[in-house]
Amino acid sequence: MLSYFSNPQRFDALAKWAIPLCAIGSAILFALGMYYSFFASPPDYQQGETIRIMYVHVPAAYMASALYAAMAGASFIFFVWRHSLADAAAEVMAPIGAVFTLLALITGAVWGKPMWGTWWDWDARMTSVLVMFLVYLGYIALRTAIEDRALAARMSAILAMAGMINLVIVKFSVDWWSSLHQPASIIRADGPTIDGSQLIPLFLMMGAYTLLAAWLVFYRLRTRTRLQRIRAMVSRRERGEDAS
């Protein structure tokens, strides 16, 4: 499938309907999610109104990890099979993932202050998410620092794949070490431990974040492929003029 959509015209046709579909879906889910998060769901019996930060923080943290996994996967496909679309996808995902990670760090600090009495504590989950943010920034910096685009793509792919080690730590840090964060409460063998009145807005916001990220990736990737086509046309025209 990736080879099929490597064709610029085919990918453009896919993005043409995916972009508005993701945008509309995200807007609808955000509207529903915001309503349920701030008006239709009750305060928590322990955390009170502070629990509403969860509806911003948890989806942001989820998207930060999901986008990193997608970026690393695309980097692996490019590194092994040299698919240009996979490399382009990894490149456009990096800044989007970095923003979601920063949002997760900020909202986590805001949530942590009233709950734990501190804005920041160097526990395993916080530290590993901070490392993921720094890897995102390192990936972006590496792509811009190396002038040879082919070399930059290969080196960045290696960095993204190596960063998967930290992603595993992000996921299992609360199980491996003592942490202020609670263990998994949604994806569990015995079912979620969160009440349904809180799960509904949480799932709505996670869906909204997912479609927002998809919209951003498709939009930036479509823009990137169009710019590449324009550069290729200009390059061919210049070579033609030089030959004449």
Q: What is the DSSP letter of 38?
A: I
Residue type, position 1, single letter: M
Separation of alpha carbons 213 and 23, rounded Å: 10
- Identify the CA nearest to 153 among candidates 228, 234, 230: 228
Strand-pairing partners, residue 106, are none
Separation of alpha carbons 218 and 223, rounded Å: 8
Q: What is the pLDDT along the chain (244 residues), one digit of tens a residue?
A: 656 676 777 888 999 999 999 999 999 999 999 999 999 999 998 899 999 999 999 999 999 999 999 999 999 999 999 988 999 999 999 999 999 999 999 999 999 999 999 999 999 999 999 999 999 999 999 999 999 999 999 999 999 999 999 999 999 999 898 888 888 788 776 778 888 899 999 999 999 999 999 999 999 999 988 887 787 788 788 877 665 5
Q: What confidence score (pLDDT) does residue 234 get?
A: 85
Within 10 angstroms of residue 165's Cβ, the number of other Cβ atoms is: 9
Q: What confidence score (pLDDT) does residue 3 get?
A: 64
62 to 16, 50, 67, 224, 234: CA distances (angstroms)? 27, 19, 9, 26, 41
pTM beyond 0.85? yes
